[in-house]
């Protein structure tokens, strides 16, 4: 329902929670972008900054928690208001994880930069960009209360999983061919896994948005394309 509450400060407090989530999401998105860029540019300074920026997202999560708890205690929200507050609590905790993944990528960039580049990094920016756009659309869907866009994001995660699968295989092959690359390739696999997990988290938020707007959780099983947990590469000599 579009019209405001009789008590206007209630509207302001709900809006404030919503804005804090969007701000958090914006920060998490730019941290992912910076983490990936620090990899392609071999930019240790940017990686350090990105790690440092994680604290701001942690602080915002705390802020969302405080505001949501206050709303629950003082306003007794129900129906769509209740769903907004509960969704904000859940989304904030997911976004905090997203920023952690970006920080973890940055830490691995710093480690990689201590030795010459031995591994192919080209798939990471592609995956990073795909997932960054997922974050962007998720935030748009959240801000506009658009379940269709949320559902679209939800479906796109499968492409990320497929890219991750092929990258996983590529890096395994690379390591077999040149054991000196094992350290850097392992870091890259973890980076790719981090990005892939961020994509999973976006599907999670997309589901929360659908619930928040419609009151119903999506019933379709979540698309799952990450097959690396069961992947084996056979050695040709064995």
Partner 1 sequence: MQIQADENVEAQRNADHGVIIATRDVNVYYGDNHALHGVSLDINKHQVTSLIGPSGCGKSTYLRCINRMNDTVDGCRVTGEIMLDGVDIYGPEVDEVLLRARVGMVFQKPNPFPKSIYDNVAYGPRIHGLADNKDDLDEIVLTSLEKAGLIKEVQDRLHSSGTGLSGGQQQRLCIARALAVRPDIILMDEPCSALDPIATAKVEELIDELKENYTIIIVTHSMQQAARISQQTAFFHLGEIVETGDTEKLFTSPSDERTQGYITGRFG
* 7 vs 233 by CB, closer to partner 1: 7
Q: Specify the residue, 14 or 32, whose C-beta has the smaller distance to partner 1.
A: 14
Shortest Å distance, C-beta 213 to partner 1: 10
In whole angstroms, the minimum distance from the beta carbon of 220 to partner 1 comes to 19
Instruction: CB nearer to partner 1: give 198 or 210.
Output: 210
Nearer CB in complex with partner 1: 10/174: 10
Whichever of 10 and 190 has its CB closer to partner 1, that residue is 10
CA distance from start to end of the chain: 65
Q: Smallest distance from the beta carbon of 212 to partner 1, in angstroms?
A: 10
Please name the residues in contact with 218: beta carbons below 8 A apart, sequence gap of 6 or more.
Answer: 151, 154, 207, 210
In angstroms, the CA 186 to CA 237 distance is: 23
Which residue lies nearer to partner 1 by CB, 7 or 69? 7
Other beta carbons within 10 Å of 95: 29
CB of 88 to partner 1, least distance (A): 16
Least CB distance from residue 76 to partner 1, whole Å? 6
Burial label for 113, CB within 10 Å (0-12, 13-18, 19+), is: middle
**Token pair of 40, please?**
């392609």
Cα–Cα distance, 128 to 90 (Å, whole number): 23
| Residue 6 C-beta: closest distance to partner 1, Å | 5
Nearest by Cα to 135 from 197, 90, 84: 197
The contact set with partner 1 (CB under 8 A) reads 1, 3-7, 10, 76-83, 214-216
């Amino acid at each position: 329902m579009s019209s405001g509450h009789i008590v206007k400060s209630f509207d302001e407090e709900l809006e404030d929670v919503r804005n804090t989530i969007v701000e958090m999401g914006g920060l998490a998105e730019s941290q992912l972008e910076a983490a990936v860029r620090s990899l392609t540019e071999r930019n240790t300074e940017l990686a350090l900054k990105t790690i440092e920026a994680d604290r701001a997202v942690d602080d915002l999560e705390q802020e969302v928690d405080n505001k949501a708890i206050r709303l629950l205690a003082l306003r007794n929200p129900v129906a769509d208001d209740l769903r907004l507050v509960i969704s904000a609590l859940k989304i904030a905790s997911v976004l905090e994880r997203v920023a952690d993944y970006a920080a973890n990528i940055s830490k691995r960039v710093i480690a990689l930069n201590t030795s010459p580049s031995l591994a192919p990094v080209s798939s990471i920016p592609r995956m990073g960009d795909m997932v960054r756009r997922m974050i962007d659309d998720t935030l748009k869907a959240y801000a506009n209360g658009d379940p269709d866009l949320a559902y679209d994001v939800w479906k796109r995660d499968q492409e990320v999983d497929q890219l991750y699968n092929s990258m996983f295989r590529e890096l395994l092959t690379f390591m077999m061919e040149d054991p000196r690359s094992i350290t850097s390739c392992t870091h890259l696999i973890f980076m790719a896994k981090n990005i892939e997990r961020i994509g999973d988290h976006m599907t999670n938020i997309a589901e929360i948005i659908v619930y928040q707007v419609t009151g119903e959780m999506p019933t379709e099983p979540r698309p799952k394309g990450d097959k690396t947990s069961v992947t084996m590469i056979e050695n040709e000599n064995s």
